[in-house]
């Protein structure tokens, strides 16, 4: 079995923000491989997030951001289970990052479940027609795959959860807002949800 020293555990903790014991377990499980350990921690975080999803959220915080030119502002409500977590540094950093993401990407919805079914159906019809014309003569399986890809892009451009998270700490790893939220739940152990947001633009 690979021996894992404290410095290696600390390095993984600094990279992921996960608890020390989880980092140690991940490194042992993955033979000291950092990339595999990060994936292991990510899966563990998602499992915890899925289990926590049904728990009641009565606490939380409002986060705000005003762009330096004073012409753009964002307000976001993020909820959690306890007031203790609402004061947590990582929770607050996440709230700030969500504000930055909303300001930068201008989402219309939090997740796919909020997108009007009729709008989705209309978009699929348009994409279907465009794809059939552009890929005439191609096998149907190839066309279907292209349609699915374009619909994924449609959701990614409209849903906050599927947009790339703007990390206020300047992290280099590209992650979606939802993945960042799930990892935070995995670290903290509480249900954390983005409840609503609003983006104001001067003259908008």
Using one digit for the tens of pLDDT, what is the confidence trace for 68-99? 999 999 999 999 999 999 999 999 999 999 99
Task: Give the confidence band of 164 by pLDDT, cuts at 50, 70, 90.
Answer: very high
Q: Please give the full DSSP string across 60-96, using - where no structure is assigned.
A: EEEEEEE-TTSSEEEEEEEEES-HHHHT-HHHHHHHH
pLDDT of residue 172: 62
Round the average pLDDT of the chain to a whole number and report it: 85
So what's the pLDDT on residue 31?
Answer: 80
Q: Give the lowest-confidence range in 3-17, 128-142, 149-163, 167-181.
A: 3-17
CB 72 within 8 A of CB 135: no
What's 92's domain CATH number? Answer: 3.30.479.20
Q: Are residues 22 and 47 in the same domain?
A: yes
| pLDDT for the residue numbered 52 | 58
Same-domain status, 121 and 103: no
The per-residue pLDDT for range 108-153, each reduced to its tens digit, is 999 998 988 888 888 888 888 888 888 888 888 888 888 888 888 8
Is 173 strand, coil or helix?
coil
Instruction: Give, to the nearest 10 degrees, the angle between helix 6-16 and helix 34-52.
Output: 60
Percent of the chain surpassing pLDDT 90? 37
> Domain residues for 41?
6-52
Region 14-19 average pLDDT: 65
Q: Distance from CA of residue 57 to its chain's centroid?
A: 19
Asked, for residue 121, whether it belongs to a domain, the answer is yes
pLDDT surpasses 60 at 60: yes
Region at 75 (left for phi over 0; alpha for psi -120 to 50; beta for the rest) = beta
What number is the average pLDDT over the span 59-66?
96
Same domain, 93 and 185: yes
At 46, the pLDDT band (50, 70, 90 cuts) reads low
Same domain, 135 and 44: no
Assigned domain for 1 exists: no
Shared-domain flag, residues 164 and 88:
yes
Please give the share of the chain, as a percent, with pLDDT higher than 70. Answer: 86
Pair of tokens at residue 65 = 């951001």
User: Which pLDDT score, from 0 to 100, does residue 166 have?
Assistant: 94
Which comes out higher in pLDDT, residue 39 or 191? 191
Question: What pLDDT, on a 0 to 100 scale, did the predictor assign at position 45?
Answer: 63
127-146 as b/e: b if 16+ CB within 10 A? bbeebeeeeeeeeeeebeeb
d(CA 25, CA 132): 50
Q: Within this chain, do residues 184 and 83 fall inside the same structural domain, yes or no?
A: yes
């Amino acid at each position: 079995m690979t021996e894992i020293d404290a410095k290696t555990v600390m390095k993984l903790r600094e990279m992921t923000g996960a608890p020390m014991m989880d980092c140690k377990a991940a490194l042992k499980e993955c033979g000291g491989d950092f990339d595999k350990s990060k994936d292991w921690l990510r899966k563990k975080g998602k499992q915890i997030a899925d289990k926590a999803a049904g728990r009641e959220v009565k606490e939380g915080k409002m986060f705000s951001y005003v762009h330096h030119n004073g012409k753009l502002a964002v307000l976001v409500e993020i909820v959690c289970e306890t007031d203790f977590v609402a004061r947590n540094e990582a929770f607050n950093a996440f709230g700030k990052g969500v504000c930055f993401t909303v300001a930068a990407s201008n989402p219309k919805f939090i997740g796919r479940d909020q997108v009007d079914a009729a709008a989705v159906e209309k978009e699929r019809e348009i994409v279907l027609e465009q794809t059939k014309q552009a890929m005439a003569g191609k096998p149907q399986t190839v066309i279907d795959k292209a349609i699915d890809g374009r619909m994924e892009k449609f959701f990614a451009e409209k849903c906050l959860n599927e947009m790339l998270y703007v990390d206020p700490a300047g992290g280099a790893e590209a992650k979606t807002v939802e993945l960042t939220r799930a990892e935070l739940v995995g670290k903290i152990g509480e249900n954390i949800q983005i409840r609503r947001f609003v983006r104001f633009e001067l003259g908008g």
